[in-house]
Amino acid sequence: MNSHPLTHDQLLVGDRIDRLMTVEFRPLSGGLPPGYVEPLYQVCRNHHGVPLSMLAGSKLKNTVGAADTVYICTGAGIAPNLPFGETDGPPGAAVLARALVLGLGCSVVMVTEQQHLAPVQACVDVINADLPGSAAVTCVAFSKGLGPGRSEAAELFAATPPKAVIFVERDGPNAEGYFHGVRGDFRQPEDVGHVYLLADLARDNGVLSIGIGDGGNEVGFGDVRAAVANAHPFKGMSKGGFESGLVTVTATDVVVAASVSNWGAYGVAAGLAYLCKQIELIHSPGMERDLVEASVRHGARDGATSRQENAVDGLDLEGHAAFVHLLSALISISL
């Protein structure tokens, strides 16, 4: 268990955030596996023992200072269905980056892989236009393959040592080294950027790491992989026949499970907003629309349907804007 002392009020507000970010809108058939959101969340909640959003927010607030750098890693999916990645991930990573810059005064480096760079950069451009003065979030893109990934991860860590590394909807490998989607489909190691290696470097160097996901295949779930596989609708089986299944072996200090990975990132930002007493750390419904639309214009697709449309995980843009409105209202009332 990886817990953190939280006050009574922080626990209450954290529970409110967690309940909101785990409301499930998945179709009963066709898209992503239904009925999985709550069991996945409960695995992670049992592991940590406290609300996940507030735990992650408090860890960041107590670790990161104004002179520090945070990496936020995102981007999931490959061709042919998701050649430039999906709409779940880049908006959430951008929103969390904005909250960290505004709330903690740190610098943020967004890390993705080369084929996902255009939609990630588009989301970064949206938040950079909203950040004050010289504050700016930058982007770095990894090449495909394990060898290049090792070199690029080591070079980045050495050039700009981070105080924290966060993953938002970023696939991690299983025990055999293959990357999977939540449905069990797999990707060859040479077809993927090995951004997860930054989690390994974080662990080796005592750097805080946080994983945010909605399937168990994403970076962060390694320490709870057996329980995640047991909770999965088809027990985490890989369609490639790999014995270790689809759940990643890559762990992080804190793992946050949500209905949509973007919502998990928004939940952590909301936790920070409460802890910093800054409601403006939560983005607006208008910015939510701008972020999703920007990612779609630059090639991102809905991960549930593989359609290049303004939707995330099967839910339309107005649904996500409504979530942001409710989240902001929740924190406003709590403050």
pLDDT tens sequence across 22-50? 999 988 877 788 999 999 999 999 999 99
Number of H helices, E strands in the chain: 11, 10
Q: Is 75 within the bounds of a domain? A: yes
Q: How many CB atoms lie within 10 A of CB 80?
A: 6
The pLDDT value recorded for residue 79 is: 94
* Cα-to-chain-centroid distance, residue 168: 2
Q: Is 93 within the bounds of a domain? A: yes
The pLDDT value recorded for residue 31 is: 77
User: What sign does the dihedral 282-285-289-292 (CA atoms) show?
Assistant: positive
Q: Is 260 within the bounds of a domain? A: yes
CATH code of residue 130: 3.90.1640.20
Q: How many domains does the chain have?
A: 1
* Strand intervals (E) in the chain: 69-74, 107-113, 138-142, 164-168, 179-180, 186-187, 208-213, 254-257, 311-312, 315-316
Q: Is 243 within the bounds of a domain? A: yes
The pLDDT value recorded for residue 2 is: 46
Q: Is 65 within the bounds of a domain? A: yes
Count CA atoms within 13 Å of residue 57 on its CB side: 33
Q: Is 1 within the bounds of a domain? A: no
Q: Is 131 within the bounds of a domain? A: yes
Residue numbers in the chain where pLDDT is lower than 70: 1-4
Q: Is 293 within the bounds of a domain? A: yes
The pLDDT value recorded for residue 4 is: 63
Residue 25's domain spans which residues? Answer: 8-334
